[in-house]
Amino acid sequence: MTKKIEKQEYENMTAALLRENIDEFRRLFLDMHPYDQAKFYTKQTPDARIRMYHYLSPKEMAAIFEQIDLDDDQYKVYLQEMDPTFAAQMLSYMYTDDAVDVLNELDKSDVANYLTIMGDEAAKEIKDLLHYKEYTAGSIMTTEYIAVQATDTVQKALQILKKEAARAETIYYLYVIDEVKRLVGVLSLRELLTSNDDEFICGIMNERVVSVSVDEDQEEVARKMSDYDFVALPVVDSSGHLLGIITVDDIVDVIAEEASDDYSKLAGITDMDSPDHRPIGAAKKRLPWLIILLFLGMITASLIGRFEETLQKVSILAVFIPLIAGMSGNTGTQALAVAVRSLATGQMNQEGKWKWIVREAGTGFITGATCGVLITLIVYLWKHNIFLGLLVGFSLLATLTVATIAGALIPLLMHRLKIDPAVASGPFITTLNDIISILIYFGLATWFMNYLL
């Protein structure tokens, strides 16, 4: 029943929009949640959206733009549909961090144009955030927060709260600063409301403030917010001056963005945030890694060629190449996934890197030994050759152990070199372990050739 009502309301809004019934459209549209408004807006044709710009104010459009999640190039398309003055006013009504996110997707000339048109105060706040490096705390923070002086009384703080609440992104925390704007404490809304009016803020504030540096990576910020279960985190410079805050809704976006980025790299795709529906565009995003893997695959092929004599003497060895290579690739990918996650969550630092590596090596040995014994018995029962079974079994033991260690060490090495560990993608680690497994397998086969013959 609810779905039918929602569908009917959607149809009524569309009809009112097309009939140019402004009052009916505004009544239905503004009664919806901003998220639903954003969904309706993005589903419209360009002509219908242009009509909406005439029916809605820049402030009302700002609430919609704060909710929409678009591909990078879509922001430019939508803004170009608007009158430049309308677009600039809309951006000035948005929370500063959201406006900066939109402007970061535009050409520098367009950004300069919008900043010139909008009011001086809004333009200055946006400019202050635009110069921060992307993916840092500074790039995702907002300057719409509530700050009070340590020497203020509760009554005065309440007056400030009432005055600033409308423009603040969150009012659950009040940040306490000194006369030079250094962050000295924090106060929750509950603590403020339950204190006597004549009490001083310095007497009820919490001086142990958890904050983040303006240059700190957004992934570290997300981890810290998750650890402390905060809804907002203050951002400070090297001298402890309060610059802004990061709210939990921005961190949710960061977590989704980082997860998508890691998944792209693990899959060996350059960018999954902006899916390309054209075959050529999609191929361009997949080809770079595939070409690299193609050359790595040629190394594997050349290695097999070097053991051609061994294969000619014992041709049955070729049967087990896919098994050895496939198992090493699988276990390497498993170790890689655990390593990347442990680095991302900070679990590896808590446990200790060397202790963690030793544990992974032990895991690789146990899985290798188990699979090795099992395949030895299978090959013996199948081919009635105990030496062939032992060769495949020992090769599997060695390759799974080495592949697990490699899958654990490579992300750790990349992290040490300040490279995203997810770059050690699944296809990359699989191909690398193929090379290692072929060397081990045919090396042992050549060594024990007499027993196999």
**Pick from 274, 263, 264, 241: nearest CA to 141:** 241
Q: Is residue 18 assigned to a domain?
A: yes
Helix (H, G, I), strand (E, B) or coil at 136: strand
Place of tokens 């279960």: 229
Q: Is residue 232 assigned to a domain?
A: yes
Determine the pLDDT at residue 289: 63
Range of the domain at 101: 2-131
Helix (H, G, I), strand (E, B) or coil at 246: strand
Instruction: Give me the CATH number covering residue 156.
Output: 3.10.580.10
Q: How many CB atoms lie within 10 A of CB 99?
A: 25
- On whether both 295 and 174 belong to a single domain, the answer is no
Q: Is residue 256 assigned to a domain?
A: no
**Pick from 399, 402, 262, 267: nearest CA to 341:** 262
Tell me the DSSP string of 25-77: HHHHHTTS-HHHHHHHHHTS-HHHHHHHHHHS-HHHHHHHHTT----HHHHHH
142 contacts 246 by C-beta, under 8 angstroms: yes
C-alpha span between 145 and 234 (Å, rounded): 9
- On whether both 206 and 79 belong to a single domain, the answer is no
C-alpha span between 179 and 279 (Å, rounded): 59
- On whether both 340 and 413 belong to a single domain, the answer is yes
Distances (CA, A) of 103 to 85, 93, 411, 424: 15, 14, 34, 32
Determine the pLDDT at residue 121: 83
C-alpha span between 193 and 197 (Å, rounded): 9
DSSP 149: E
β-partners of residue 244 are 235
- On whether both 111 and 151 belong to a single domain, the answer is no
C-alpha span between 130 and 152 (Å, rounded): 32
Helix (H, G, I), strand (E, B) or coil at 187: strand
DSSP 133: P
Determine the pLDDT at residue 369: 94
Determine the pLDDT at residue 394: 92
C-alpha span between 312 and 317 (Å, rounded): 9
Determine the pLDDT at residue 344: 67
- On whether both 327 and 401 belong to a single domain, the answer is yes
Domain count, the chain: 3
Q: Pull the structure tokens for residue 24.
A: 């009916």
Q: Is residue 138 assigned to a domain?
A: no
Q: Is residue 137 assigned to a domain?
A: no
Cα Rg, the chain, nearest whole Å: 30
Instruction: Give me the CATH number covering residue 49.
Output: 1.25.60.10
pLDDT per residue over 311-329, tens digit each? 777 778 888 888 888 888 8
- On whether both 212 and 68 belong to a single domain, the answer is no
- On whether both 229 and 285 belong to a single domain, the answer is no
* Sequence-distant (≥ 6) Cβ neighbours of residue 344 within 8 angstroms: 219, 223, 258, 262, 421
Q: Which of 131, 157, 182 is the last residue of a domain?
A: 131
pLDDT in tens, the chain (453 residues): 334 446 777 888 888 888 888 999 999 999 988 888 998 998 899 999 999 999 999 999 999 998 887 766 788 889 999 999 999 999 999 988 888 888 888 888 889 999 999 888 888 888 888 888 888 999 889 888 999 999 999 999 999 999 999 888 888 999 999 988 999 999 999 999 999 999 999 999 999 999 999 999 888 888 888 888 888 999 999 999 999 999 988 888 777 666 656 555 555 555 545 555 567 765 666 666 667 667 767 777 777 777 777 777 777 888 888 888 888 888 887 887 788 777 766 676 666 778 888 888 899 999 999 999 999 999 889 888 888 889 889 999 999 999 888 888 887 887 777 766 665 556 667 777 888 888 888 888 888 777 666
Helix, strand, coil abundance in the chain, percent, nearest 5: 70, 10, 20
End-to-end Cα, the chain, rounded Å:
76
Determine the pLDDT at residue 5: 45
Place of tokens 């092929």: 301
Q: Is residue 268 assigned to a domain?
A: no
Place of tokens 């014992």: 314
Determine the pLDDT at residue 1: 37
- On whether both 171 and 111 belong to a single domain, the answer is no
- The long-range contacts involving 417-420, CB below 8 angstroms and separated by at least 24 positions, are 420/261, 420/262, 420/265
- On whether both 106 and 157 belong to a single domain, the answer is no
- On whether both 193 and 161 belong to a single domain, the answer is yes
pTM equals: 0.60
321 contacts 441 by C-beta, under 8 angstroms: yes
Q: CA 282, 287, 290, 292 torsion: positive or negative?
A: negative
Helix (H, G, I), strand (E, B) or coil at 173: strand
The one-letter code for the residue type at 26 is R
The one-letter code for the residue type at 48 is A
Determine the pLDDT at residue 374: 94
- On whether both 363 and 442 belong to a single domain, the answer is yes
